[in-house]
Structure 1
Amino acid sequence: MTKYTKTAMLLHWLTALLIISAFWLGVTMVDIHGITPTKLKYFSWHKWIGVTVLGLSCIRLLWRLTHQPPPNPPMPAWQEKAASGLHGLLYVLIFAIPVSGYLYSMAAGIPVIYLGLFELPVVMDPNPELKPLLKEIHYVLNMTLLASFCLHVSAALKHQFIDRDNIFKRIFP
């Protein structure tokens, strides 16, 4: 069985770990009542991770477009289509979620200062009318990612332990 390149593996696992971290921070920070130093710190970390995920996702997409992934193990046509569709959805989400969060921050009038070092460009003026819509979009996209992630992991586990096609060997170093 052929494997993904080491670069593709690194980008996959690094992106996954960062997304899980950002998701955990997002869930945790919104449950903190009031404005506290911890909440503000978590918001900053959440945004930094989001910007990093967006940058890594650009690199990852370029890598994917220029490097052929290994073929899937034999499976029914419907599973092949489902896998392809799910991977496509995951790629859309890893771009759409950071962008929606960035636009939400802009609508709230809160700048994104990456790693506390430099401010990202302001692409829109504060917009109190648009802010709740962008917040909802960011939330719905994240819940869609959570469901897609669970489906992705479940499918991988099914292939590994039920179909026994050693699919894990493709993505693990």
Structure 2
Amino acid sequence: MPRYTKIAMLLHWLVALLIIATFFLGLSMVAIPGFSPTKLKYFSWHKWMGVTVLGLAVIRVLWRKANRPPPPLASIPVWQHKIADGMHYLLYFLIFAVPLSGYFYTYAAGVPVVYLGLWQMPAVIAPDPELKATLKTVHYVLTMTMAAAVVAHALAALKHHFIDRDVTLKRMLPL
């Protein structure tokens, strides 16, 4: 059975776990009323995780360019391959778009991003209250789109594994 490389698997699962953790941290941090030390700490962690996802996404794309994925399974209908390809393009787009929209939103709000509390990331835009409101909405919509896409992707993998009983999921599992 042709499989993804160990590095591809590591990057896939690491990015997936970070995205899920960042999503739930984001939900919990915005639910905290006011500005407490805990809320500010969660915002920092959320930003650090987003920057990490973005960095890993760059590595992941470069790895995929240099190491082609295994060929599609012949047992799967062509229409399903096309849907899977579209989903993968959407997920790759969102893996970049969500952290970038959060990054721009943060700077439009006039707040620096200090990665791991050590390195201040470059300010790519000046503070702008109107742009801040727009970017907040953009970040939210992209995040919810990513959440839906991740759930659909996971459900499709589980469908292949438990209903179709093919090796789609096994090709990405480091077993």
TM range (shorter): over 0.9
TM-score in terms of structure 1 length: 0.98
Deviates more, 1:65-74 or 1:39-48: 65-74
Identity %: 62
Aligned to 1:69, the other structure's residue is in SS state: coil
Name the counterpart of 1:131.
Answer: 132
Structure 1 segment 1-173 matched on structure 2, within 5 A: 1-73=1-73, 74-173=75-174
Distance 1:37 1:151 in 2: 35
- Structure 2, unpaired ranges of 5+: none
Aligned to 1:12, the other structure's residue is in SS state: helix
Amino acid in structure 1 at the alignment position of 2:156:
A
Distance 2:126 2:78 in 1: 48
Amino acid in structure 1 at the alignment position of 2:108:
A
Aligned to 1:29, the other structure's residue is in SS state: helix
1:91-142 Cα shifts (integer Å, max 9, x gaps): 0000000100000001000000000001000111100011111000000001
In the TM superposition, residue 169 of structure 1 has moved relative to its aligned partner by 1.4
Q: How many residue pairs get matched? A: 173
1:23-71 Cα shifts (integer Å, max 9, x gaps): 0110000000000010000000000000000000000000011111012
In the TM superposition, residue 166 of structure 1 has moved relative to its aligned partner by 2.1
Deviates more, 1:66-75 or 1:28-37: 66-75
Aligned to 2:129, the other structure's residue is in SS state: coil
In the TM superposition, residue 77 of structure 1 has moved relative to its aligned partner by 1.5
Distance 1:169 1:156 in 2: 9
Aligned to 1:80, the other structure's residue is in SS state: helix
Distance 1:124 1:155 in 2: 39
Distance 1:58 1:45 in 2: 20
TM-score in terms of structure 2 length: 0.97
